[in-house]
Amino acid sequence: MSDRQRTPPPTVRLRRLAALLRRLRAEAELTREQVAVRTGVNVVTLYRIEKARARPQQRTLTALMEVYGAGEAQRADLMAAQRLADDRSRLRPYGAEPSGAARAGGATGFAGFSEGYLAYLGFEAEARTVRAYESMCVPELLQTERYARAVIRGMLPDAGRAEVDERVRVRMERRSLLTRANGPRIRAVLDEAAVRRAVGGPEVMREQAEHLVRIGREPGVGVRVIPFGAGAHAGMAGSFVHLDFPDARDAELVWADTPAGDVFLDSEEETLRYRSLFERLRAVALDRDDSAALLESACRSLRSADSVH
């Protein structure tokens, strides 16, 4: 197992603390080596703190604030972020423990979820905008219950019924973000393959396509489809989710669920690259109305296929 899988991803607050300290050091025009000499804090420790891989102890934070000449407001912000940096209460926003059925079924952890996925749920719940690109299936926030169940069973063939049930439950509860007051804006781009693949059979897929048409009319949700006719495009390398947050001090975040584990990217260069990639994919995709027309066409085709069966 890799270090990325063993180490819990940083919380939003720890990421904020790291970003603030990086910015203060840059404004002070100091290298990590110079800071280490002035504070006695190891260079490796400074690196880990600035990469949100470690929470600074109070005496370390105090020393850094002194060296950086942090003002009163900055000190208050840094101390608040440091105090709450390890608060992982938002990792399980849809219930603190698996259901009794899931526990009886032998699911590991929280319905078998990785710590990285739980961290993503917390980030998603705090996001201002969720930009999701999917090449093979419908984004999780836009899935119907039967479609979600079929996807989970297909992707996790060894999962027991209790674990599948728990994963479906969490996925359905996450949909409350779509209607929550001050919930995130959802911007979804799908490859046409995600619409045409009859996951769960024609009836399940028709229900899913109809749901996409309905949800795509909501003011806070945008659904775009890249048609087969667009040919090769930049999103063929894989799916990803880009998040930004209401507080400008919180760095943007990119998350991807890969066979090797959860991948989080939060450097300015990486998040800008993925945000630009998402905009390029939106430009290649059909507009809102034409995307809805393609989805409605898929619904008609699936109704015909369902009637044959």
| pLDDT at 168 (0 to 100) | 96
Least confident of 20-24, 192-196, 222-226, 245-249: 245-249
Q: pLDDT class for 35, splitting at 50, 70, 90?
A: very high
Q: Is the pLDDT of residue 283 over 90?
A: yes
Could you read off the pLDDT of 141-183 as tens digits, one per residue? Answer: 999 999 999 999 999 999 999 999 999 999 999 999 998 888 8
Q: Which residues of 237-274 are buried (b: 16+ CB within 10 A; e: fewer)?
A: eebbbbbbbeeeebbbbbbbbeeebbebbbeeeebeeb
Angle, helices 115-126/12-28, rounded to nearest 10 degrees: 80
What number of other Cβ atoms are within 10 A of residue 98's Cβ?
24
| pLDDT at 272 (0 to 100) | 95
* Rounded mean pLDDT, 51-79: 89
* Rounded mean pLDDT, 7-30: 79
Domains present along the chain, CATH in parentheses: 3-87 (1.10.260.40), 115-308 (3.30.870)
Q: Is the pLDDT of residue 100 over 80?
A: no
Rg (CA), the chain: 22
Q: Is the pLDDT of residue 118 over 50?
A: yes
Q: pLDDT class for 114, splitting at 50, 70, 90?
A: confident
Instruction: Give me the sheet containing 253-258, strands edge to edge.
Output: 221-226, 185-191, 129-134, 240-244, 253-258, 261-265
Q: Is 233 within 8 Å of 281 (Cβ atoms)?
A: yes
Q: pLDDT class for 302, splitting at 50, 70, 90?
A: confident
Q: Is the pLDDT of residue 108 over 80?
A: no
Q: pLDDT class for 89, splitting at 50, 70, 90?
A: very low
Q: Report the candidate in 109, 112, 126, 95 with the shortest Cα–Cα distance to residue 11.
A: 126
| pLDDT at 79 (0 to 100) | 86
Q: Is the pLDDT of residue 86 over 80?
A: no
Q: Taking the C-alpha atoms of 130, 235, 16 and 55 in order, what is their torsion angle to the nearest 10 degrees?
A: 120
pTM: 0.74
CA 166 to chain centre: 19
Computed over every residue of the chain, the mean pLDDT equals 85
| pLDDT at 91 (0 to 100) | 41
Q: Find the angle CA(235)-CA(134)-CA(307) to the nearest 5 degrees.
A: 125
